[in-house]
Amino acid sequence: MEKIKSLRGFRDIFGDEVIKFRRIEEVSRRYFSLFGYKEIIIPVLENTGLFIRSIGDTTDIVEKEMFTFRDTGGDSITLRPEATAGMVRAYLDTGIFARERISKLFSIGPMFRHERPQKGRYREFRQIDVEVFGIEAPIIDAEIIWMIFLILKSIGLTEYTIEINSVGCPECREDFKGLIVGYFEDKRQDLCEDCRRRLQRNPLRIFDCKNPVCIEISGSSPLLFDNLCETCKLHFKDFLSHIEEFKIPVSINKRLVRGLDYYTRTVFEVTSGSLGSQNAFLAGGRYDNLVQSMGGPSIPGIGFAIGVDRLALLMTPSMQKEGPIVFLAYLGDKAKGFIVPMIRLFTENNIKFFYLPDAKSLKSQMRYADSIGADIVMIIGDDEVEKGIITVRDMAQSNQTTLPLNLTNLIDNLKRLFEK
């Protein structure tokens, strides 16, 4: 019988990839708790109107990429292509907005976009979404970037760029639109069909076009960044000065635009060259008018989403785990007596510790240690017990040394050895 396959762009996540996903989630949760974020679980299905109104009806997501259906009652429903719209709806529906002056929320789960699948681009993908409601001051923009920086550092990622920009407010955008419509109008015939339409309905979307000719044309156009109103300019300047206080390396990309219409002022993307064309593995920005445009009071917002599938692509095996794994290889009856004290010692000190009960030979234990990715192997045989030493093997460096077989100082001695 013919096998039934998964849908195009939908994947099973297993093996090492699951470990990477869990690690990203674990580290993120740790920092969310430190920075005062609370979890909220929101639906995967929402009314289609929610996304049209928030993301914008001229965006690629709404025009081409939504999984939209009619349910049996005839209502149009959509599998969420992103989380911010649902987060804002939930923030209003649950009444959180009326109870808290500032809300820091996060949510984790799958998103759905009907895009052409390729490396790092799927039709079902996972996001860790973070939103802050109620702060207009740009210090929060910088605090968010700082949290992102710490999360990536804790995962062990070093090769990436944090790109920042400001897309202004409706007032500066309105003035700017006049300026660029003039610029693009002359070159109208050369623009792609979509951009000709965009020129009429939402000219700023031209900057988001992937067509090489449109990219070239917009390459020499005036920039919104250079035409911000005084208030937006000041907001960005303050944001930047806080970024400098935090000492976070960032790069200003005046051409950075986002594929969603709700953004105002600060926008950012974290990119990596090794991802190819889908190079952003994290993105976000400020949306000061979204809550109000969704029927709520005027409350500013800012947030971001980690593209978990893409971030996992950047992780090497050593980034999958937290802290070193210690394996105890033992031989002989005298050595056996050290197993329980060692289990106690390592687990009490929060160090992952493994051993192989009933092992027959040192060789089989070493093979096992290798298979579980042990970083340090400690060897105790009768010989070691007699001499009062323990052999310590650094698996990555393939070298070994000895330490005194003294459990009171063993952890400190080990740390000293590996800090060198």
Nearer to ligand HAM, 284 or 300 (CB): 284
At residue 187's C-alpha, the angle toward residues 186 and 191, to 5°, is 145
Nearer to ligand HAM, 259 or 296 (CB): 259
Nearer to ligand HAM, 121 or 173 (CB): 121
Question: Which of 39-47, 117-125, 132-140, 203-211 is the region at the interface with ligand HAM (rule: CB under 6 A)?
Answer: 117-125
Nearer to ligand HAM, 85 or 180 (CB): 85
Q: Is 198 in the site for ligand HAM (CB under 6 A)?
A: no
The binder of ligand HAM chosen from 32, 37, 97, 122 (CB under 6 A)? 122
For 13-37, the DSSP string reads --THHHHHHHHHHHHHHHHHHHTT-
Minimum distance, C-beta of residue 31 to ligand HAM, in the bound complex (Å): 16
Phi, psi of 409 (to 5 degrees): -105, 5
Please name the residues in contact with 361: beta carbons below 8 A apart, sequence gap of 6 or more: 331
Residues binding ligand HAM: number (CB under 6 A) = 25
Please, what's the b/e burial string for 1-39 (b: 16 or more CB within 10 A of its CB; e: otherwise)?
Answer: eeeeeeeebeeeeeeebebbbebbeebbbebbeebebee
The binder of ligand HAM chosen from 283, 312, 314, 369 (CB under 6 A)? 283
Q: Is 156 in the site for ligand HAM (CB under 6 A)?
A: no
Q: Is 125 in the site for ligand HAM (CB under 6 A)?
A: yes
Please choose, from the candidates 394, 387, 383, 379, the residue with its C-alpha nearest in 3D space to the C-alpha of residue 342: 379
Longest dimension (CA), the chain: 89
Q: Is 282 in the site for ligand HAM (CB under 6 A)?
A: yes
Give the Cα separation of 95 and 199 in Å (integer): 39
Taking the CA of residue 345 as centre, how many other CA atoms within 13 Å lie in the half-sphere pointing to its CB?
17
Question: Which of 79-87, 91-99, 100-108, 408-416 is the region at the interface with ligand HAM (rule: CB under 6 A)?
Answer: 79-87
Give residues in contact with ligand HAM (CB under 6 A). Answer: 82-84, 113, 115, 120-122, 125, 127, 129, 131, 259, 280-285, 303-305, 307, 309-310
